[in-house]
Amino acid sequence: MSRPTVFISGAAAGIGHATARAFADLGYHVGAFDIDEPGLGLLREEIEAAGGSITVGALNVTDPAQWDAAMEKFHADEQRLDILINNAGVLSSGPFEEMATAAHRRLVDINVNGVIYGSKAAFPYLRDTAGAQLVNLCSASAIYGQPELATYSATKFAVRALTEALDLEWRPHDIRVLAVWPLFVNTAMVDGMDIGTTRSLGIHLTAKDVADGIVHATRTRSRLLHKVHYPIGRQAKIMANLAKFSPDWAVRMSNKRMSHT
């Protein structure tokens, strides 16, 4: 049998880079796609130097045609797609009314449409691979709408809903759909970001922490409890559990205090 494969969008840096390294170390043939081609070149050198297997390629996740081409190229290598990780994303913060319309549009185009296009392009390849999985990068900001991250938070609520719907819709095709939920991660995405929530909670997670969480989620399957959402890190787990068992007014008050609004 051919080795397992994983396709990762936004793989040139940060969480995507760390996740590619983690799966390569486990013997997966990695598909690393991004708009940052020099970054992909460095990733390929690292993985190949460690004895791993990788295919790299340019991908703008807001273009459905590029998704189709990237999937076709990657699938040609091993004739299977075990895992798609919709990792590519952007983050913009600040008062909602002060952010440029272009910034709001970019958040939606990449964080929502990119996930939709990727999931659709991958479907036939996932369907034809036994036990395939789709992993979406969600966020703890999808627990309750976050001040100064309003549109970003909205995009992650959309990813949450899409994940839950597709997990039900694609179950007859033997495709598992799940979401990982980190809080703030120490990557370039948060460089220079100073909002109430980061001042309250800090930034403690690393890209490797999230990569390890993704690996754990994809390799953990319970026959008794079907799990869709995987918070990553102590803070995200506490927030998710509090939101699950607390009334809405208490969750709102907690977010109000954390964000200093």
pLDDT of the chain, 261 residues: tens digit per residue:
579 999 999 999 999 999 999 999 999 999 999 999 999 999 999 999 999 999 999 999 999 999 999 999 999 989 999 999 999 999 999 999 999 999 999 999 999 999 999 999 999 999 999 999 999 999 988 888 888 999 999 999 999 999 999 999 999 999 999 999 998 888 887 877 777 777 777 777 899 999 999 999 999 876 667 899 999 988 878 777 777 777 887 778 777 777 777
- Tell me what pLDDT residue 27 has: 97
- Tell me what pLDDT residue 202 has: 78
Q: What are phi and psi of 166, to 5 degrees?
A: -70, -30
Q: What are phi and psi of 97, to 5 degrees?
A: -75, -15
Q: Could you identify the residue written with the tokens 């390294």?
A: 21
- Tell me what pLDDT residue 146 has: 87
Which long-range contacts does 115-119 make (Cβ < 8 Å, 24+ apart)? 115/61, 115/86, 115/159, 115/162, 116/162, 117/61, 117/62, 117/63, 117/64, 117/67, 118/9, 118/61, 118/67, 118/84, 118/86, 119/84, 119/86, 119/162, 119/166
Catalytic residues: 152
- Residue 25, both tokens: 């170390």
- Tell me what pLDDT residue 223 has: 66
Which residues, other chains included, contact 157 with Cβ-Cβ below 8 Å and sequence gap of 6+? 142, 145
Class of domain 5-259: alpha beta
